[in-house]
Amino acid sequence: MYVTAPAVPRPSEAARRLRVWLHVGDPALARALRAQLLRSGFCQVEPFVRSRAVPGDVIVATPQSLSPAACAELRQRGLRVLLLCPVVRAAERSAYERAGADGVVPMTVEGAELFAALDRIAAAGNEP
């Protein structure tokens, strides 16, 4: 008996055109996340450089590397912010939502929630 593997999530074409900056403190996590996004068709995935990010770019960060206050500052600059959390806690989600984060998603191996959040950002265009 064979068990069918679940379908590998694929981000939309619009999401794959987003410029994604990784703001994660763990170098191994940064490499793995970048590799996953590139394998999924994203063309622009780089370590976060504050001076090079422009309005509309997406910052994927972890709570360890980006505080709610720093999230609010990035949103004021017109950057989109997604928080990737090992475990999404209600208080943490609330703090980042108040700071203007575009999403707080669980950190999973397959990345379905991350891809869905990137799809939502791409579909929204430059809306805040």
Residue 38 covered by a domain: yes
SS (H, E, C) the chain: CCCCCCCCCCCCHHHHCCEEEEECCCHHHHHHHHHHHHHCCCCEEEECCCCCCCCCCEEEECCCCCCHHHHHHHHHCCCEEEEEECCCCHHHHHHHHHCCCCEEEECCCCCHHHHHHHHHHHHHCCCC
4 in any annotated domain: no
Question: Is residue 2 included in any domain, yes or no?
Answer: no
> What is the model's pTM?
0.89
Token output for 4:
């069918």
Determine contact, residues 96/68, Cβ cutoff 8 Å. yes
Q: Is residue 1 part of a domain?
A: no
**Residue 7 within any structural domain of the chain:** no
Is residue 56 a part of any domain in this protein? yes
Domain membership flag for residue 59: yes
pLDDT at 4 (0 to 100): 63
Interval 75-118: pLDDT, tens: 999 999 999 998 889 999 999 999 999 999 998 878 889 999 99
Give me the chain's average pLDDT, please. 91
2 pLDDT more than 90: no
pLDDT above 70: percentage of residues in the chain: 91
Confidence of residue 53 (pLDDT cuts 50, 70, 90): very high
For residue 28, how many other CB atoms are within 10 A of its CB? 8
- pLDDT for the residue numbered 1: 62
Q: How many domains does the chain have?
A: 1
CATH number at residue 117: 3.40.50.2300
Residue 5 has a pLDDT of 53
110: containing domain: 13-124
Task: Report residue 74's pLDDT band, with 50, 70 and 90 as the boundaries.
Answer: very high
Rg (CA), the chain: 14
Q: Is it the case that residue 28 has pLDDT exceeding 70?
A: yes
3 within a domain of the structure (yes/no):
no
